[in-house]
């Protein structure tokens, strides 16, 4: 996610080529004790708070980072400022779960360190299980985004609760110095080798995805451009001045490239489906179809988790209708979406709610009556019209036909309609607000959502 730091007072050291990770001077630092578990009664007096979604009680949350399944436990890291609901002094927060619905929060994992390579923030990245050693690969910003480096942090154990951050980057800015916005490393494997991608762009450059060789995570080699902006399909689907948060992964016999795009303040997340073709300096991505990962500007910077039997994706649900004053009064901003399972169907990327979310279902509600529950799900085979009502205020949130599932959790609404990309919406209930559902009574079911008792 874009952020302009304070003006630089000094420029960062360039990474030492081939410098071994063991030269790190930073001592291992344990995370804080687990601080809470997700439940709708977190912030009980705030009807807007999405208590079932991944986010701590306080502070700022944006991009999901470092998604991993380690020894049967899911780990989700995220961009986090626990001090205030503002996008500055970014660290990596950490939550983990054995079932994708009940989350334990472990405090800050990676910290921005004054005077070091990440003093302006530990920006987005991924997590690699490197021969049994969990390793975070992230963008470190000392003073200026144009001088950002790729940094490593290694966990002291497989619980991912104690981390050792390096004091040098493994690779610095690209050789093309017009690419002043390069960040968000994502590591993947292809043809027996390990590679990484970063998104890039700049005021005087078109967006691109850069490719790196990193069989040894401590020694990276720039391999050129995986994808540029020349293909007409790419220009139509992924118009942007910079591409952020690239994800590249195999799915259902295809390769999928996910990109987050921004242009003059407009944000969206898109996908391209295609193939990797071998070249002398490493593979190149050749797309043949594409579209939106989520059909909403409230959804941004998703990250995919590839496991042995499925690919999951989380996104950042932005606050799109609140002023800075309202955010400061609330004390929190941003959340991660529910996890979604990905598949490729007829050259389209399809997202569906993970099956684990079914366990959140509680009591059935009367769909014809005003709904006051803070978290609930709507399922209908004949479409639904959902509105947030408070006196004369009437905000229509969903209005569509055909099979649909809608998850409401405070102010965070996720809509899954057959044959269309999902849509993430924000609507902010007041204590006096109610939800109104209109649908065919014979085809609609509304149930509360809450953590199971056991």
Q: Please name each of the domains of the chain with its CATH number.
A: 21-355 (2.115.10.20), 361-449 (no CATH)
Q: Which two tokens stand for residue 249?
A: 């992964």
- 195 strand-pairing partners: 188, 213
List average pLDDT for each run of 10 residues in the chain, which is 454 residues long.
Answer: 35 31 43 54 91 97 98 98 96 98 96 97 97 97 95 95 97 96 98 98 96 98 98 97 97 98 88 96 97 97 98 98 96 98 98 98 97 98 96 96 96 97 98 97 97 85
- Enter the tokens of residue 155: 């966990």
Which pLDDT belongs to residue 41?
64
Structure token digits, residue 395: 């905000």
Dist CA 406 CA 425 (whole Å): 10
Both tokens of 336, joined, read 């991660």
Beta carbons of 58 and 107 less than 8 angstroms apart: no
Distance CA 213, CA 191 (A): 12
Could you give the 3-state DSSP secondary structure of residue 234? helix
Output the pLDDT for position 263.
72
Cβ neighbours of 431 (radius 10 Å): 9
For 80-120, what is the HEC assignment?
A: EECCCCCCCCEEEEEEEECCCCCCEEEEEEECCCCCCCCCC
**pLDDT at residue 4, rounded to an integer:** 37
CA 331 to chain CA centroid, nearest Å: 21
Tokens of 292: 């939106």
């Amino acid at each position: 996610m874009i952020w302009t730091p304070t003006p630089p007072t000094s420029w960062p050291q360039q990474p030492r080529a081939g410098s071994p990770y063991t030269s790190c001077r930073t001592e291992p630092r344990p995370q804080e004790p687990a601080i809470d578990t997700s439940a709708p009664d977190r912030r009980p007096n705030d009807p807007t708070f999405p208590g079932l979604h991944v986010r701590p009680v306080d502070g700022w949350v944006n991009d999901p980072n470092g998604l991993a399944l380690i020894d049967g436990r899911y780990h989700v890291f995220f961009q986090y400022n626990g001090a205030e609901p503002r996008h500055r002094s970014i660290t990596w927060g950490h939550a983990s779960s054995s079932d994708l619905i009940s989350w334990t929060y472990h405090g800050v994992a990676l910290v921005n360190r004054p005077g070091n390579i990440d003093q302006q923030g530990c920006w987005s990245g991924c997590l690699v299980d490197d021969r049994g050693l969990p390793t975070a690969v992230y963008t470190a910003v000392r003073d200026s985004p144009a001088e950002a480096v790729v940094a490593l942090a290694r966990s002291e154990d497989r619980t991912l609760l104690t981390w050792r951050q390096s004091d040098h980057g493994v690779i610095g800015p690209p050789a093309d110095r017009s690419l002043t916005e390069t960040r968000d490393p994502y590591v993947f494997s292809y043809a027996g080798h390990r590679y990484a991608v970063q998104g890039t762009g700049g005021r005087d450059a078109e967006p691109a995805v850069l490719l790196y060789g990193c069989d040894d995570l401590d020694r990276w080699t720039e391999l050129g451009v995986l994808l540029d902006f020349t293909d007409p399909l790419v220009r139509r689907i992924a118009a942007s001045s910079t591409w952020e948060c690239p994800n590249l992964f195999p799915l259902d016999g295809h390769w999928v490239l996910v990109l987050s795009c921004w242009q003059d303040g407009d944000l969206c997340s898109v996908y391209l489906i295609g193939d990797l073709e071998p070249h002398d300096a490493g593979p190149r991505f050749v797309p043949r179809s594409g579209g939106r990962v989520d059909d909403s500007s409230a959804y941004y910077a998703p990250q995919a988790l590839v496991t042995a039997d499925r690919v999951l994706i989380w996104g950042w649900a932005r606050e799109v209708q609140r002023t800075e004053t309202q955010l400061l009064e609330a004390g929190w901003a941003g959340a991660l979406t529910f996890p979604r399972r990905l598949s490729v169907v007829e050259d389209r990327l399809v997202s569906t709610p993970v099956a684990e979310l079914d366990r959140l279902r509680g009591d059935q509600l009367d769909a014809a009556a005003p709904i006051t529950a803070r978290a609930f799900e709507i399922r209908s085979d004949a479409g639904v019209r959902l509105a947030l009502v408070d006196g004369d205020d009437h905000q229509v949130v969903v209005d569509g036909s055909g099979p649909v599932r809608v998850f409401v959790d405070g102010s965070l609404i996720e809509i899954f309609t057959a044959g269309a990309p999902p849509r993430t919406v924000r609507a902010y209930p007041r204590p006096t607000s109610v939800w109104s559902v209109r649908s065919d009574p014979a085809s609609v079911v509304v149930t509360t959502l809450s953590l199971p008792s056991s």
